[in-house]
Chain A
Amino acid sequence: MLLIADIDKRFDGGPQVQASVRIPHGVSITILFGPSGAGKTTVLRCIAGLEKLTAGRIVFEGRDWTNLAPQKRPLGYLFQEYALFPHLRVRDNIGYGVKRQTGIVDRVAAKLKVHDLLDRWPSELSGGQQQRVALARALARGPRMLLLDEPLSALDAATRDHVRSELALLLRSLGIPAIVVTHDWVDALTLGDQMLVMSGGRVLQTGPPQEVFTRPQHREVAAAVGVETVVAGRVIRRDGGIAFLQVGSGGLAAADPGGDDVDFYVCIRGEDVTLEKGRAEQSSARNHLSGLVLEVVPAGVLTKVVVDAGFELVALVTRQAVEDLGLIKGSNIFAVFKASAVHLIPKS
């Protein structure tokens, strides 16, 4: 194991976080996923040594880190708001932790494409640039592992998509294992090899992101991930801003995200899927998939209906709707949803 962290952290009169994190050698990116207040950042801070454990242990590459000062842990930590030193220029920020600067600042800056910014002040940088400078600063020290706390949350929505794919490429090219804290399922699917879902200070489920999203073992996990259908799909045709995908033995239409990618994760939220008995004559929804009901499961105030439409599609509908449509296992049904309700995440 690269990292064994058995974390038990109690805050005075506050919440308790109990989490067990295992990172085997070879897993490059681990996602800590969950709603805010789930204890993700606490786990990250404990691994970094910024919080003392109440009980438990942290072992990295066979060395006991439990009581080691944060300075002595060869980690790169990316703070949520990046925490660049405002009184230092970009060059001095990147070189801050480097003892002998034999060109390392320039090399790291070139790698992260911030070499043009070296003489600027942090306040003169955009959010995406700040993130790259903060990453460069963390990398300049040659860390054995990277810890990233909500790396994309400080960015506006337009920048986020662009920076996310850049970050995914970068993290893979570095060959340094990383733990990424996020509450955004798009981040989790784009970046993660392994994923831990946390809620209420505990780890609820561990596994590859796609598996966790499609087969949540807890209702809390399902609620936390908030997307019920995640399946692999391949674009077979693009036409007028719409991408037509082959998914399982079925097909569907989605808003075309652009680019050259053909292999995607197809993500559909259960609330966005409508069930109808007959086929509607005219509708703005692009997808009318006929299918067979596989399962009808109560899920809180709603009912989860799993439909075989060439692939497993999950709809969340009211109990009243289930009764009105007379839905039982084996019923024939049309699943209706808009092309814009389909979220495509590139697989590469």
Chain B
Amino acid sequence: MNWEAIATTLKLATLTSIILMILGLPLAYWVAFSKWRWKFLVEATVALPLVLPPTVLGFYVLVAMGPQSPLGRWYQSLAGHGLPFTFEGLVVASVLYSLPFAVQPIAAAFGSVDRKLIEASWMLGVSDLETFFRVIVPQSWTGVMTGLVLSFAHTLGEFGVVLMVGGNIPGVTRTLSIDIYDRVQGLNYSGAATTSAVLLIVSFLILSVVYALNRKVWFFAADRRHRQEI
């Protein structure tokens, strides 16, 4: 087992999901409630990583971070080194790559919150921002959890983008999937098998959590009991 790769992967997935929560909540709110006529363009952009080959996404991220681009130069002047082939660069790429996995379930959950509850909150003098945290998020927390868990799981298994943007630097950018690839290349099948099994089991457990979350039976047991009494 390559513990270093596991640590790198977990660190990457955790950071990516935290950042995606910070970016994804307002973005999902905007997607769910904006009436802007060109909104579909933003929605399509957010969904791009679902269909693009990771290498294409990785290529553009690499170019955008490179010393030739204004963004890359700006970061270089700020941090003293470039973004490509660093852990920070990997985080940026992962956030972009997992964006739809966070935004889509959250936006869908926000969109299905009963409009009357939001309006009731307004009529009680509560601001839009406070209504977001006191009504919209609690009413859609299974969607928020799903977004969080899916972006974590998706980051665990990413390969193409990591290879393009991060390369294969042990302890820095060598994640589990790269490690498996590396071992197979070196004909170390037994090592690859162990790591693969770990990823398989962890992914299965995480997805089980997602589907369990979306089964309302666990959370509305009290409600159901009451209905049966009636």
**A16→B135 CA distance, assembly (Å):** 32
B127 near A71 (CB under 8 angstroms)? yes
Q: Is A137 an interface residue (CB 8 A)?
A: yes
Nearest CB on A from B167, distance (A): 46
**A85→B139 CA distance, assembly (Å):** 9
Q: Is A87 an interface residue (CB 8 A)?
A: yes
Report A's interface with B, CB cutoff 8 A.
Answer: 48, 50, 69-72, 74-77, 79, 81, 83-87, 96-97, 121, 123-124, 137-138, 141
A123 near B126 (CB under 8 angstroms)? no
Please give, as numbers and ranges, the residues of chain A lying within 8 Å of B124 by CB-CB distance: 96-97, 137-138, 141
**A79→B114 CA distance, assembly (Å):** 12
B121 near A79 (CB under 8 angstroms)? no
Please give, as numbers and ranges, the residues of chain A lying within 8 Å of B134 by CB-CB distance: 96
**A121→B225 CA distance, assembly (Å):** 12
A96 near B226 (CB under 8 angstroms)? no
Nearest CB on A from B207, distance (A): 26
30 A-B residue pairs with Cβ-Cβ distance under 8 Å, sorted by A, are A50-B122, A71-B122, A71-B123, A71-B125, A72-B125, A75-B123, A76-B123, A77-B123, A79-B116, A79-B119, A81-B116, A83-B116, A83-B117, A83-B120, A85-B121, A85-B135, A86-B139, A87-B138, A87-B139, A96-B124, A96-B126, A96-B134, A97-B124, A121-B222, A123-B223, A124-B226, A138-B123, A138-B124, A141-B124, A141-B125
A70 near B126 (CB under 8 angstroms)? no
The 8 Å CB contact of B120, one of A69, A74, A79, is: A79
Nearest CB on B from A48, distance (A): 6
B120 near A123 (CB under 8 angstroms)? no
Please give, as numbers and ranges, the residues of chain A lying within 8 Å of B138 by CB-CB distance: 87
B222 near A123 (CB under 8 angstroms)? yes
Known: A77-B120, A97-B126. 13 other contacts (CB 8 A): A71-B126, A71-B127, A72-B125, A79-B116, A83-B116, A83-B117, A83-B119, A86-B139, A97-B121, A121-B223, A123-B222, A124-B222, A138-B124
